[in-house]
Structure 1
């Protein structure tokens, strides 16, 4: 547990130094749609960052598919970023936006969420499920995903998990269509057990995770998009951006000044199970899902291929997001994306590409013996 949580930062002479995660600045810090003061709220910023479910490379898990891969090191970073976005969404739906994790947390709802990302059979969002579903998007197991691919995969996987109580909408052609989203989110109360749905979520609105894949330049970010990207981070509905540096996926959770703040999946940790967090080993494994400090890069160092993510728990949230897009984002000289009431005529009718009867994906690796690495080696920083 200490290997993850009690990180010691030392200067060249061996003395303790303050980690350079949040700059000492008068600029506002924006993390997952919340505004902080870098000076007055530093402890709260770090507490909230640590509470995010941190997904990283793992090793020693059940072999995936015919390839027999037992680690996603070198190819799974974008898949892990997708898991982190979904983790934030599930925590906000089933716990709250202000929920706080500690090493002693044993909340059963939290455990139910984190178990969904473990490398085990039947975990709805394990690396196995994400990688195998990627085949439907033309990506073989072990092949690197882009932001749009991981968004499409999550959209398909969420349909198999009724407990999550979430709709994922992936915008097409830089265009958010209100009509399509409302048709997806306004539902009858027949989608399984909604007993865990918070009271602030209306019974006829399924919480929405809106993902908008974008290309903000050719080989690097076009500066004309920077202000719009900052507006996205500052939106109350923001749950970050799937993106990164060239050839290195990162979960971008916020911004300060002209820098973005991110969680990095490029740490290889052993696979294992949190289960009910009763044993020391399970407690240690739970701590591997939380990172004490975030990191920063200049916005201009980002890869131009991104996917901005918003969570609307209620219809009111969605209306507020649309108003914000119309009044601010779309008034930029070069808007990041468009918002329209109805589908463009040349798109054709909306169709579902998810076959809920085909559940073979969830049993493909069910009969494989578990081969978790039980060595004492700690994780590797890449």
Structure 2
């Protein structure tokens, strides 16, 4: 049974507004934010700094960068999604939010990886990237493919309609980049990549156990650029504060693709930037002296002197799933394109950093090993990323699993060399 777009949208918006109040989130009016920023306000947004004190056009730069992000929300009238029992599932509302967050991170990676001038520009047309993520069979990064791979045993056997967490979504997203690498290139029409040289389209790698294993990362980067997800569980709610400064500082890294996580409820968001409510130098972003060990902020000025996270929210709308992005930029439905473009302004919010969920995945786009060395150097420098190596542990290689037979062989050797060895 299908409802009209207006009915679905209205109901979703009602639930969305109620949830925002429950989790203490606020709508982010980006234009008003830029207008009201005082002379020394600064924001970090996906690896770029915007200092409104330096020059007035920084506000325009920030707005352009903000609007360039591609936002993916819930959809209805999706085809070819079936439950384990064969029942048609026409919408991802209520269970697909983390998959939409993963799609937003993938879209940002594709836009950036095809740009030759850094994280602040997007050379690839958003239309072609959207084609990769359309809600239709054949789209290499569409929700049908997410669900298809998610059902596989290696990825948790999650049936269609089951909620994905940050780790499971990151694992599937990386697999999609690897499994459909050639199809993504075809959709983006990067035929010049086939004529030699390293492909600009990234592969994927996910570290779901916490540490980054450099031997595995090196193997991935030998194939070309890679999107790296680092999945973490930051402990109990009260202990989260010790990681806050490091998490905020990640937004200063040009390789950073944001955080896939949620609020202190169960909603998933794509976190893309940070700022402090109180005017001051961005160095104050790293200052968590007002935070108590419980994760709460002490003092009457807490609401005006604590960090906020900017995010895009997939829950804000339920749009039609039939996204026809198959024609050229000159043709097709411009009204539909305008509808999706408006999502950046309507589906954004801010959340106090202390309410960030402790389960999260951190995204990075690495062009080569030198890029990783730069990230690692910054993580190792407490003046850039406080406690960065506590937040992201780095090991040279993945430890080999313990083998009882190897242990037995070692004991036998000790026994042969020294009869008393086992008596000590």
**Where on the TM-score scale, by shorter chain, does this alignment land: which range?**
0.7 to 0.9
**RMSD between aligned residues:** 2.7
Whole-angstrom distance in 1 between the partners of 2:110 and 2:392: 26
Whole-angstrom distance in 1 between the partners of 2:402 and 2:103: 29
- Does structure 1 residue 265 correspond to structure 2 residue 314? yes
Whole-angstrom distance in 1 between the partners of 2:122 and 2:219: 33
Tell me the secondary structure at the aligned position of residue 132 of structure 1.
Answer: helix
Matching residue of 1:307: 361
Whole-angstrom distance in 1 between the partners of 2:113 and 2:358: 30
8 A contact 2:274–2:310 mirrored in 1: yes
Matching residue of 1:47: 64
Matching residue of 1:98: 120
Deviates further, 296-305 or 333-342: 333-342
8 A contact 1:274–1:283 mirrored in 2: no
Quickly say closer, same or farther: Cα 1:347–1:208, change in 2 above 3 A: farther
TM-score normalised to the size of structure 2?
0.67
Whole-angstrom distance in 2 between the partners of 1:35 and 1:276: 36
Whole-angstrom distance in 1 between the partners of 2:30 and 2:368: 40
Deviates further, 165-174 or 214-223: 214-223
Tell me the secondary structure at the aligned position of residue 235 of structure 2.
Answer: coil
Structure ranking higher in strand proportion: 1
Quickly say closer, same or farther: Cα 1:265–1:21, change in 2 above 3 A: farther
Tell me the secondary structure at the aligned position of residue 50 of structure 2.
Answer: strand
Matching residue of 1:135: 151
Number of matched pairs = 310
Shift in Å at residue 46 of structure 1?
1.8
Deviates further, 275-284 or 261-270: 275-284
Matching residue of 1:116: 132
Larger Rg: 2
8 A contact 2:214–2:395 mirrored in 1: yes
Shift in Å at residue 336 of structure 1?
1.0
Quickly say closer, same or farther: Cα 1:174–1:278, change in 2 above 3 A: closer
> Which aligned pairs between 1:29-108 and structure 2 lie closer than 5 A?
29-38=43-52, 40=56, 41-65=58-82, 66-96=86-116, 97-99=119-121
Q: Greater relative contact order (Cα 8 A, min sep 6): structure 1 or 2?
A: 1
Shift in Å at residue 334 of structure 1?
7.9
TM-score normalised to the size of structure 1?
0.74
Matching residue of 1:194: none
Whole-angstrom distance in 2 between the partners of 1:110 and 1:156: 22
